[in-house]
Amino acid sequence: MYQRILAPIDGSPTSDLGLEEAIALARLTGGSIRLVHILDELVFVTGFEPGATYTNIVLPRLRQRSERILAAGRERVAAAAVAVETMTIESFARRPSDVIVEQAALWPADVIVIGTHGRRGVDRMVLGSDAEQVVRMAAVPVLLVRPAEPAARRPGVVAPEAVTASVSPATV
């Protein structure tokens, strides 16, 4: 029952929401969390950098950023008295969603918890959704956690801001 929780994190506020839900689930089930950060060179690389610039400047900065993100996540999980381990994955030729699904199988995870923007419409078509791809490909349940839509954007609803979560069909 959700003893091994895989939580991909990237340091964003949305990722932090996912981490908080993973911590809550681990505390509820007595489980442990594996925090995964995937180095994604597309965040920084434009394709115009010489190879030496990438190897000597960009890649070390990506690694340092990953360590900071994982250290902050590890502190939050440990503060909740939950067992935690961390992993940085350098996988530049593959989509993050492919790496997450692979790691869930290799570890093996009982559930994947991901913070997501919950993009819809054109934004989703243009920007894509790694979370959506994980839901489609994962062999284990996926818990998606996204920020609540502001009450002002929901007609007829007056409610405090909250977190919403959805679970993949694999959980049924």
Tens of pLDDT, residue by residue over 161-172, are 545 555 665 544
CATH fold for domain 4-171? Rossmann fold (3.40.50)
In sequence order, the 6+-apart residues with CB closer than 8 A to the CB of 55 are none
Global confidence as pTM = 0.79
> How big is the chain, counted in residues?
172
- Return phi, psi of residue 166, to 5°: -135, 150
| Separation CA 7–CA 142 (nearest Å) | 10
pLDDT at 6: 98
The model's pLDDT over 118-161, given as tens digits with 9 standing for 90+, comes to 666 554 444 457 888 999 999 999 999 988 876 555 555 554 45
The model's pLDDT over 92-124, given as tens digits with 9 standing for 90+, comes to 778 889 999 999 999 999 999 999 876 665 544
Other C-beta atoms within 10 Å of 3: how many?
13
The model's pLDDT over 4-35, given as tens digits with 9 standing for 90+, comes to 999 999 999 999 999 999 999 999 999 999 99
CB 72 within 8 A of CB 56: no
